[in-house]
Structure 1
Amino acid sequence: MSTGLRLVIFDVDGTLVDSQGDIIAAMTLAFEAVGLPVPERNAILGIVGLSLDVAMARLAPDADHLRMVAAYKDAYIALRAQTGAAQSSPLYPGARETLARLNAQPDTLLGVATGKSKRGLDKLIEAHDLEGLFVTQQVADFHPSKPHPSMILQAMTDAGTEPAGTVMIGDTSFDMEMAAAAGVHGFGVSWGYHPISALRAARKVVTDFDDLEAALDDHWRAFP
């Protein structure tokens, strides 16, 4: 039986915040740590959203992935310490306002499903004063990498919602494929790290946060 609740799950990097500067810099240092040439920018951005071990395996199949992951994490922490999370991973225009408006709706719950670690997500939420917004926070520490549906399935369990009342918002093909695997609708965003052409599994692709709110309103009318 339907609970009447709606759950909107957000990806983080490339969807809520633009962290590509630190991601590329940290990945550069990770490749230098094992003496390998650094991949092109688009190749690095193409793996954003995957768990780090899976991302490293895709970018450098024959490398020492454990060493690369450790080097990446150390570099990312150091880079973030230099400027602070709010500056190095700024919210996209309209993100904060949209989150606040959705959170104010009595039947709408918010969640996060990200390839970040719990520590990284906690620091980002604290830096942007987003505490208390997300009733469920799914991170790479406790799940298989996207596009496995585990994060969304656990988020729905936490929130007490059903697939028909759940939407996944993300910028990558991994997010949209994860949504499809979990049996929920996925909305792609155009401002992130994967081209729109890669978001083939998306029900809809939106161009800004105002467009996202309108798309959600239309969706809930079609799937009350």
Structure 2
Amino acid sequence: MKLVLFDCDGTLVDSAGLIHETMRRTFVAFDKPEPTFEATKAIIGLTLDIAIARMQGKQHADDEAVAMMAHYKSLFTVVRADLDYKEPLFDGIRELIDTIGPRDDLLLGAVTGKSRRGLDMVMSTHGFDQYFVVGRTADDCPSKPHPAMVTECCDVMGVKPADTLVIGDAIYDMQMAKAAGATAIGVAWGYASVAELNEAGADHIVHHPSELLPLIG
């Protein structure tokens, strides 16, 4: 039995546009300079308070970052409705999940910096909740690259980290996987470069979801 854990933003769904617009409105509301799209992409994967702090050059989340996080969360569904944005799946993801989801030798899960509500929305929107049996979010665990999201999923499902694959697009995903003792697979269609993923410890790099099938086994 293998456990296959997917990051969400940048791996399953292309949510950078939605995240950036919500972040932009948040910074404007707090009289901060508007962040660039590249600055937003660089922090996708972290929990929100840490992400917002990093975007301002801070190493740790302070009270202002926590307040901005709360404002971001209050805006997210509003922006999603304004843009009529449903966080589309990356090309090939639907076919991949429909192929591996029904398999008896695999357990699927999600490890994400999104909130539990945000993850549930993505899963239900795309019909993946029938396949994903475990998940950890920013509401449950410390921010990536802390290994807790992976190790807790392993504990719940009774699978060793050595039998676990972590699939993600961010350096934090690779670092988290290696810290947990799992296999780290970087995807080239997300928000970090291949060079960054390799430097962060990726065991494998794939350029299309179909390339994951032989690695999953």
TM bucket normalised to smaller: over 0.9
TM-score in terms of structure 1 length:
0.90
Q: Which shifted more, 181-190 or 100-109?
A: 100-109
Q: Does 1:39 align with 2:28?
A: no
Using the TM superposition, give the Cα deviation of residue 63 of structure 1 relative to its aligned residue in structure 2, in angstroms. Answer: 7.9
**What are the residue-to-residue correspondences of 1:119-158 with 2, within 5 Å?**
119-158=117-156
1:171-196 Cα offsets, whole Å, 9 max, x none, are 00000000000001100000001111
Gap runs ≥5 in structure 1 = 218-224
Using the TM superposition, give the Cα deviation of residue 97 of structure 1 relative to its aligned residue in structure 2, in angstroms. Answer: 1.4
AA matched with 2:209: F
1:186-211 Cα offsets, whole Å, 9 max, x none, are 00000001111111210011000111
Using the TM superposition, give the Cα deviation of residue 216 of structure 1 relative to its aligned residue in structure 2, in angstroms. Answer: 2.4
Query: In the aligned structure 2, how far is the partner of 1:45 from the partner of 1:63?
Result: 23
In the alignment, is the contact (CA less than 8 A) between 1:191 and 1:208 conserved in 2? yes
Query: In the aligned structure 2, how far is the partner of 1:131 from the partner of 1:111?
Result: 10
Percent identity, aligned pairs only?
Answer: 41
Moved over 3 A (4+): none
What's the counterpart of residue 207 of structure 2?
207
What's the counterpart of residue 69 of structure 1?
69
TM-score in terms of structure 2 length:
0.93
In the alignment, is the contact (CA less than 8 A) between 2:113 and 2:137 conserved in 1? yes
1:113-135 Cα offsets, whole Å, 9 max, x none, are 00000111111111111122111
What's the counterpart of residue 220 of structure 1?
none
1:47-100 Cα offsets, whole Å, 9 max, x none, are 00000011011112378212211221122110123455xx43001111111112
Q: Which shifted more, 120-129 or 187-196?
A: 120-129
In the alignment, is the contact (CA less than 8 A) between 2:102 and 2:131 conserved in 1? no
Of 190, 193, 196, 2:194 maps to 196
Gap runs ≥5 in structure 2 = none
In the alignment, is the contact (CA less than 8 A) between 1:34 and 1:64 conserved in 2? no
Number of residue pairs aligned between Structure 1 and Structure 2: 211
Q: Does 1:18 align with 2:14?
A: yes
What's the counterpart of residue 47 of structure 2?
51
